[in-house]
Structure 1
């Protein structure tokens, strides 16, 4: 996508609870060799995923997934775009394979836990306390509202086990008294179907497939071992327990001449994080205080926007990383790019310099625009490696732009 910067403005160019069914709290395991039903169930690497499938993840319409998406041993996704994934996508690679292995372990662990009680298949209209539950006959159904009562304990665990799971349209799984979606597990021996417009909480661990019908909202995870995950204009947000600290991020912005498109300026945002979490998520670009567009950063934290038709004046560019479930948001310092009457990037350089550090170019020579080799006022980002970097003006060091309503600069 190319953005045109115009004089005075910036424009984007297309591109009721049943007493009989109310359960008691979880009992203690009968022997020390049995799994403790009240203990946390680890999802391992699968915990990083909002959606995981064995063969395919298929989205239709305006599906939005916040968290990682993975497929293994299959390698297919469909419907993204127009669907949006605020996270990394792993297709039949070591990351997805490990997630599937850990999902199988978690699935079997949930199956082996001692049961607290058996519940009638229809969970709608009931209130359930923490515990491990089996269906008295066949599938679990939710019609209306199911309330999960944490009884004041934010670590309260809920595990539901049945051959299949079906929620009715507009049904709700409500979390009450400290219950958290991250501590709710639905172990399904076959497939799960979430009805249109339903509001669901917890992580589904299905042996076969999972379908989320139109308008479904999921606070948790949809993890299918062998089959597909189908999402129809659904919203899936990977749950995280309250109190889990987010990792800090830092966002920097660089401007480069695009050697393949004379006259265009490439804005490259680089997001870094304080830990091993990939800095993948939505990055918004702003020019002169006006939002331009949003792109996903890749696994290396890079997001790129091409800007063209830049009129003479000094333009101020900013990149803002919106953050994810595990990463804090961050905003780059303002990057000022002066443009004279002759325009910007009139033609590709004859011998493009590769910026390998402040003041360095190809073969150790000073980079273009820095003839005396003195240290730059900003870090030069080497992406793409053959583009010529621009340098921000010294007076702009330490200035920050906050991409929030009411805090944008007016266009000059």
Structure 2
């Protein structure tokens, strides 16, 4: 199991402000749908629901009762836990940017706190009832139940924070099913950490869906191929099943400047066919320089750590990269001022001649480019324009690199 250290998130008891805006209830086809008013001085202030207290479960991106099963190049940013079971499969084929707790007291306490949060969400009074199909509507802060059956999502669901970063959304249902490519969107200050899905059964997230919020399920949680989750997947009694899934533990931030994103690109050296240089670029949403530790992973195995400079750049050069298709990930592990983030998976195929493609037949032949668009998938490596350009970039990179990464890293 690969572990990456990170700052522990401590649950906060935040005094919730009154929300500017009121809830308009529209009745159509026998269903009641919620739509937010535009906030203005003329609106009557309405208190929003309180935050659901997750306790130590706040630190987990994935928590299961019996087992966690991951397939494909899954990436989990945050801690992973299992209790009372102790089984976790799919790592290091997948990448875990965090610690794993399996059948130990840490996971057991997280399950206790999850049960408390689950009951809290289940007992609180409701704001309104929504039609089971959530696609195509905009919802204001509140606590919602379906008029019948489970919540379903086809298309887009928009959550409107009405300018309040502390706005809380709670959805309660006997089940949750999202269709492939469905999306939950946040507008007007809403935060993923303040969205809760209390499911009195099991939850299924469709392939390629973009889901937001903390799922608190009594039974199991299944995420389809290519699904992304900004929040947490927390199952009390069952399993959490991940298929090429990206789960990023959300964190409430007092300042938007805490959030970060990480991208990864690869460069080859035509004079050293087996050599590959990975360049990670970390960006922050505010003025804090994205300087901090960056972990590099190859095929789910941690290779080394480098320190990003004030511009957010960190690099790792590997020698003697073997012939095969490799999957690389860079993870910014966070600081006390910045949240962690992981890059999409970068796939690089290494052929019999090494990393660099064969020399072009003529100067008009286009050079290969790296797949660093942030979408993952099959990628090639960018080839520098001439030996002089490569050496100049190498000198600039080494000037900012962490002392541990000044020399080439041999493949392991």
TM over 0.5: yes
Change (3 A) 1:68 1:173: same
1:211 and 2:211 are equivalent in the alignment: no
Q: Distance in 1 between matches of 2:219 and 2:53?
A: 20
Give how far 1:282 is off. 5.9
Bigger-Rg structure (1/2): 1
Q: In structure 2, do the counterparts of structure 1 residues 234 and 296 end up closer, same or farther at CA, with 3 Å as the change threshold?
A: farther
Partner of 2:295: 283
**TM-superposed deviation, 1:37:** 6.1
Q: Which moved more, 1:321-330 or 1:71-80?
A: 321-330
Q: Deviations over 1:86-136 (max 9, x none)?
A: 000000111100000000000000001000011110000111100000111
Counterpart in the other structure of 1:322: 332
SS of residue in 2 equivalent to 1:223: strand
What is the CA-CA distance between 1:81 and the residue it aligns to?
1.6
Q: Deviations over 1:341-388 (max 9, x none)?
A: xxxxxxxxxxxxxxxxxxxxxxxxxxxxxxxxxxxxxxxxxxxxxxxx
Match of 1:38 in 2: 49
The residue matched to 1:243 in structure 2 has which SS? coil
What RMSD, in angstroms, separates the aligned Cα atoms of the two structures?
A: 3.7
Q: How many aligned positions are there? A: 258
Q: Does 1:67 align with 2:101?
A: no
Contact 2:33-2:129 within 8 A present in 1 as well: no
Aligned residue for 1:41, secondary structure, equals coil
Q: Aligned-pair distance for 1:39?
A: 1.1
Residue 148 of structure 1: how far off its partner (Å): 0.4
Matched-pair contact (CA < 8 Å) for 2:218–2:237: yes
| Aligned counterpart for 1:188 among listed residues 190, 193, 199 | 199
Cα distance in structure 2, aligned partners of 1:189 and 1:67: 24
Normalising by structure 2, what TM-score?
A: 0.56
Distance 2:48 2:106 in 1: 29
For structure 2, the residue ranges without an aligned partner over 5 or more in a row are 1-23, 38-46, 259-292, 307-315, 321-329, 341-397
Give the 5 Å matches for 1:304-343.
322-324=332-334
Residue 130 in structure 1 maps to residue 147 in structure 2: no
TM-score (norm 1): 0.56
CA distance in 2, matches of 1:326, 1:232: 31
CA distance in 2 between counterparts of 1:41 and 1:109 reads 7
Structure 1 residue 294: Cα displacement: 2.7
Return the offset for 1:401.
3.5
SS at match of 1:23: strand
1:204-229 C-alpha deviation (Å, 9 max, x unpaired): 00000000000000000000000000
The reply on whether 1:170 has 2:169 as its aligned counterpart is no
Cα distance between partner residues in 2 of 1:216 and 1:323? 22
**Alignment partners' CA distance in 1, 2:406 and 2:96:** 30
Q: CA deviation at 1:402?
A: 3.8
**Unaligned ranges ≥5, structure 1:** 1-16, 27-35, 247-280, 286-291, 298-304, 310-319, 331-398
Q: Which residue of 2 aligns with 1:152?
A: 163
Which residue number in structure 1 is paired with residue 239 of structure 2? 228
